[in-house]
Structure 1
Amino acid sequence: LDRVLLTARENLSGVRVIRAFNRQEDEGRRFDEENGELVKIQVFVGKISSLLNPLTYVIINLGIIVLIQTGAKEVNRGIITQGEVVALVNYMSQILVELVKLANLIITISKALACANRISAVFEQKPGITEKNHTCLEAGEGAPAVEFKDMTFTYDGAREPALSNISFSVTRGQTVGIIGGTGSGKSTLVNLIPRFYDATEGGVSVDGHDVREYPLDQLRGKTGVVPQKAVLFHGTLRENMQWGKKNATDDEIYEALKTAQALEFVEEKDEGLELYIQAGGKNLSGGQRQRLTIARALVRKPEILIMDDSASALDFATDARLRKAIKERTQDMTVFIVSQRATTIRNADQIVVLDDGAMVGCGTHKELFENCEIYREICLSQLSKEEVQ
């Protein structure tokens, strides 16, 4: 049953891909095979059940016949009363009912054990991130907002490090752009700041303290993360925005929506903050979902804002307005922008260029265009020489 449900779920979630590759018949056959196995097992169980249920009734009724026959002799001899015989017959009938329940319970237990194996696997999973300190830390005076110190990170089971010997520091209020090819480690780099992973070697510091020294609540309270995939939850727009800050007022939410360039389309919907959002934001476009996830992160007014390629579904004009609004309204906020677009990060105070897990350049747009070949190639592949300048 578990395998059949898994196959059905995969088919439903990947229905567009299945249609695009014209694999409906193949997936139909695959489902029929899995379902056929389930049918065979259920028929086998049904045969056992159809044999055991009547057999149980026959045994119990034979027992009742023996009981009445024996009881009649005992009543004749005056050893027991007729009422006691009737009571014993009732007990036998109760035993019959309980045996049938037991047979059904065994089937339920078999299904439950299969589910329990999955659940126990989750419970037995050991968390990779543990808290060593539960006391809030004060920001170090004059310390950089974020600093990477000769940091190397390797995923569990990987042969090669995803990031190698990364070192740079960011002062409070700076905007940092992170750019590089696919698989260069951009997302991994920013995910080390809120400690979704721990550095294998070296370290990452926030406000002068290693992230491993912070209580997780304090560290993640300092950061606002806008993930690559825009994730929204079913409920009203207000409820989704209050994920960023539980007691956020309507004014704070509207301010965040305005900065994220989402206020215009929200006002067009007429429902305002009572706009109902389906699970995963399915009733919104990709660009609308991205803008709302940015607004959700801005509501909490974090010290560090991480935008992980979170404007990829926006057109260039909206993207430009978004960057301008964030720069104007978040002056004290340290912003990390991960992007594939050179135009998105060209005006950043500092740009980090990654290539195959190594930092091959760090500086302003002008410095990198002159001195970093990889950055120059990225820029020229997207912009003309006049636009780059």
Structure 2
Amino acid sequence: MDFIKLATQYKEELLTNVVAFWLNKSQDLEYGGYFSCLDRKGNVYDTDKFVWLQARQVWLFSMLYNRVAQKSEWLECARQGGEFLKKYGHDGNGNWYFSLTREGKPLIQPYNIFSYTFAAMAFAQLGLATGNDEYTDLALKTYDQILERQENPKGRYNKSVAGTRKLKNFALPMIMCNLNFEMEHLLDKDFIDESAGKLIDEVMNVFYRPEVGLIVENVNYDGSFSNTFDGRLLNPGHAIEAMWFVMDLAERLNRKDIIDKAQSITLQTLKHGWDQEFGGIYYFMDVKNHPPQQLEWDMKLWWVHLETLISLLKGYRLTGAKENLEWFKMVHEYTWSHFKDSMYPEWFGYLNRRGEVTHFLKGGKWKGCFHVPRGLFQCWQILERISLGE
């Protein structure tokens, strides 16, 4: 496998296609922030602004400025989005809304903890890029809010009836693995190391169920398996994405045992989630092979495949597992042939089981400036390190 050629492919796609698309098509130069609802050609079809997608774009352009090149247009793109978020994204008490009008008026209450996690990521990177302590302080205050809400992420917006079936969800500990890594320049090293150990334990020993060899999306609050729709739910993309977060933390802690386990779980999940008939990775599955309750369970989504490419490459770099390269080739070919738009910039997000595009949008309520550019960036960086023998 030609790692240098592959690295160039991912780098060029990122910098000449995807980054340019979001830089030129998404910025709201009148009110600030970004349009995420963009059609195939990049035309705006809806002006609502979703806080977690706004924050993801601030993070992305700040990260590129910090790690790739100090381009003034990247920094200005991140800064103006950060200013919009700082002014309109929260209620003044650090509670981040879910969505806003174009002008910045709140539409949906701050029920979603991921508005907070991505705001923290965004302002941590923007503070690093600008040296502005106001951004750094906002990142730390938001991080403290997340820690306070960990036990009940939705707070008073939780729809569950108390005392009946209390479940713990995988998404927050998963994203905290990455958030701690992103914010390590702002947090105490001992705290990071202790927190990393706890998060790894929760992901690898609570949500990973050895009885099925897979990571489930929900467990009972005592950590036991819940034989319910929610308890049997597998999201292959989530599980595989979490494994590269875990590998990053384990590399920091010099825990080869954890790296090896994460590498193994990546392959177990991929083999289980791969569609043997049409190719691609299923969106949702039931770990006991019962019918999933999600009607979209057999769709193929962009982010699932990009996160899988990252995990496979990271696992190969850290363990040398040849099977990862075999799977990488297969997932790479499927991803580039199905999600990349050969006519217009940026990538499609949604395919049916047969691999046919169902939505020709480039951005919407759930897809924004994040998984495609981050995936391309990560793969480019890892492939370069592999080519250099690092």
Q: Verify same fold: TM over 0.5.
A: no
**Higher strand share goes to which structure?**
1
TM-score (norm 2): 0.24
Structure showing greater Rg: 1
